Amino acid sequence: MSDDMNELDTPTFRLAVAQFDQAAERMNLDPNLRQRLKIPERSLIVSVPVRMDNGTVKVFMGYRVQHDSSRGPSKGGIRYHPDVNLGEVAALAMWMTWKCALVGLPYGGAKGGVRVAPEQLSRAELQRLTRRYASDILPFIGPDKDVPAPDVGTNPQVMAWIMDTYSQQVGYPVPGVVTGKPLSIGGSLGREEATGRGVVYVTLEAMRHLGLEVEKASVVIQGFGNVGSHTARIMQEYGLRVIAVSDKSGGLYNPKGLDIPELLKRYRADGHRTFRDIKMGDWITNEELLALDCTVLVPAALSEQISHKNADQVRCRILAEGANGPTTLEADQILTEKGIFIIPDILANSGGVIVSYFEWVQDAQRFFWKAKDIQDRLQEIITAAFHRTLQFSMAQRATMRMAALMSGIDKVAQAHLARGLYP
């Protein structure tokens, strides 16, 4: 990695660049474009001082990275997590660029975050943190510049605070500055469940391609936040048997299938945040969960959960990546050799940004769609992207990940070549 990229040198960013390099090599991408697309267009680091409830001031580190804007405004989530750093945010922004291009959205990729454990803050502290962070990145965001959205550790309420902070500064309401907002201020129906629903749609297409029967399929899901919980619920609605789920502390396994609506009710009751005391199955660790025999495995937690250390133990037919970067390069090769059909992250979890795009369009039009329209349009876009990627994969004799990356990178490269280099 060159000296000018040392600040970004983290495992997650190295993974994103290595994936890009593999695709660029196979594409014979122009060396000038290759260098340009490795480095984010703009990276912002801010200190975020917050007055805590006890009167002390604590400073948190905040980031916003815009990887590319050749095809339109940049787009990407904001995460609140103790492990947030510049390299991770830059990697996620790069993946967002390829993701938006792959599914045909007029966006570039961005990502942001604050290094904080949000569950340790009071609501008042969280609001002050969010508003200060929003004011610090305010010159760089806007409905035609860069549009944030929820991610790990953030939610519609956080987006509402960002939207309000931005609107107060410009003097009028700007609902299109963020997506994933509450419905009352310009949010979209179907946005909260969009990523999970997209995972289900592409999984069903993969099962049809492989000739697998829904009635006989079993599903294992790592992660039970926004993506994992909605994936589990919608998988069950489509007739698939969800046999295991987990959060960061561990999970539940029931080979006969879990009752997801009842599990959701118990998990969320009274702020319940662990499966250990829910008597609906056997308690298992995340390591054990990833090794369960199943039809579909959905890693929907954090990056690099499947590595060379545990890839040999994975026993699924389809790996649908609900999280960003859950599989390392070494694991990718092992899984491919085992004959596992991988639906890569930039395709599998693109439902969130697709419906974010719908929300952005609705805000601009001041005209809002019905939930059925949103679900139908999401299914149309993401399944079309799946089949384009599948056909490209078969034609090029490439893995689904390589086909998805090459398709996304090519669209971005074409935009750069058409626009040229300024000055």
For tokens 């489509």, name the residue. 238
Catalytic residue among 38, 75, 99, 111: 111
CA distance 10 to 421: 29
CA pair distance 63, 417, nearest whole angstrom: 29
Gap between the Cα atoms of 341 and 167, Å rounded = 45
Rounded to whole angstroms, how far apart are CA atoms 233 and 199? Answer: 12
Dihedral sign (CA 221, 225, 229, 231): negative
| Catalytic residue status for 111 | yes
Name, in order, each residue with C-beta under 8 angstroms of 216's C-beta and a sequence gap of 6 or more.
Answer: 295
Q: Which residues are catalytic?
A: 111
